[in-house]
Amino acid sequence: MEKKATRDGFGEEIVTLGKEDERIYVVDADIGKSCKTTTFAEQLPQQHVNVGIAEQNAAGVAAGLATCGKIPFVVTYAVFGSLRMAEMIRQEICYTNLNVKIACSHGGLTPANDGASHQAIEDMGVLRTIPNMTVIMPADYYSAKKLVRAAAKYDGPVYLRFTRDAVPLIYDENTEFVIGKAHQLRDGGDVAILANGDTVCLALQAAEELQKKGTAARVIDVHTIKPLDVEAVQRAVNDIGKIVTVEDHNVLNGLGSAVCEVVAEMGRGKVKRIGVQDQFGESAPYEVLMAKNGITVENIIAQAENLLA
């Protein structure tokens, strides 16, 4: 099974976009090597700004560029691009509804051995509560490329979250994506598994194992958690009524919470949430951290069977 990190998809696509449109800028915070923007800096130096280790300043610079008609991408680690920049995102980017993109690598537990300080488990939840913000996490290399391109064309603030580690390829270069429209990968009438980012491959593996046991699982890649594809969630409730959500993010205020908000307003359906169990990470291998939080194929199967019991 071929694997590529979603940050690699971003790094390649942003160069292509920059060459196509001179309004595309990258505002780096001195970690371009990790965030895959060194090629952009080398090939498009006039569209590149490195503000140093000063993420809050990066947000302000990007806001200024946006007022001049540019399309800036602030690029850093997810924990810094969401939490350290939170006030600037709210006041300078979202309140003014400026066309700024925040493209962050190292989302969720993928920083692994770097420890809790570098693992962004709260980022999507924090940013989805800010008006005007769009929040996206691609599931693989190809969807990252397509959703980065869609974000560049979208008018308004967008947060894009990428993995550090390589993840299995799910799509190909011909698959198209629309911001705010979830992508159904498998159909089934017994249980629905809604996942995003690096957990979509786990959802697919779980669905294959469930199929062997006679359980048909619908698998949906909810790459955009804001705006959430409410219709896709409503269909899952109406057609099936049993949902498992899976995410590499705190179970509070992420994908699972967003889905539960829709389900609660419908007044029916059951949801089991799988994700980081409201605890900080540690310095450990990625798979160990995921397992410690129950973000595994085995737990997805167990939660699905629990709903069906």
Tens of pLDDT, residue by residue over 259-270, are 999 999 999 999
Which regions of 142-213 does DSSP assign to beta strands (E)?
158-161, 167-168, 183-186, 191-195
CB 70 within 8 A of CB 23: yes
Tell me the domain boundaries of the chain.
Answer: 3-168, 183-308
> Reduced to 3 states, what is the DSSP secondary structure of residue 76?
strand
Tokens (6 digits) for 86: 């939170």
User: What average pLDDT score do residues 137-152 get?
Assistant: 98
pLDDT higher than 90, residue 86: yes
pLDDT higher than 90, residue 1: no
> Mind listing the pLDDT tens digit for each residue in 175-213?
999 999 999 999 999 999 999 999 999 999 999 999 999
- List the helix and strand counts (H, then E) for the chain: 13, 14
pLDDT higher than 90, residue 160: yes
Distance of alpha carbon 233 from alpha carbon 77, whole angstroms? 30
User: What average pLDDT score do residues 284-296 get?
Assistant: 96
Domains 3-168 and 183-308 share a fold: yes
Find residue 173's DSSP bridge partners: none
Indicate the length of the chain as a whole number: 309
Residues of the chain above pLDDT 70, percent: 100
Regarding pTM above 0.85, the answer is yes
Q: Does domain 183-308 have CATH number 3.40.50.920?
A: yes
Strands 224-226 and 134-136: antiparallel
CA geometry: angle 43, 84, 162, nearest 5 deg: 50
User: What average pLDDT score do residues 2-9 get?
Assistant: 96
Q: Which fold has domain 3-168?
A: Rossmann fold (3.40.50)
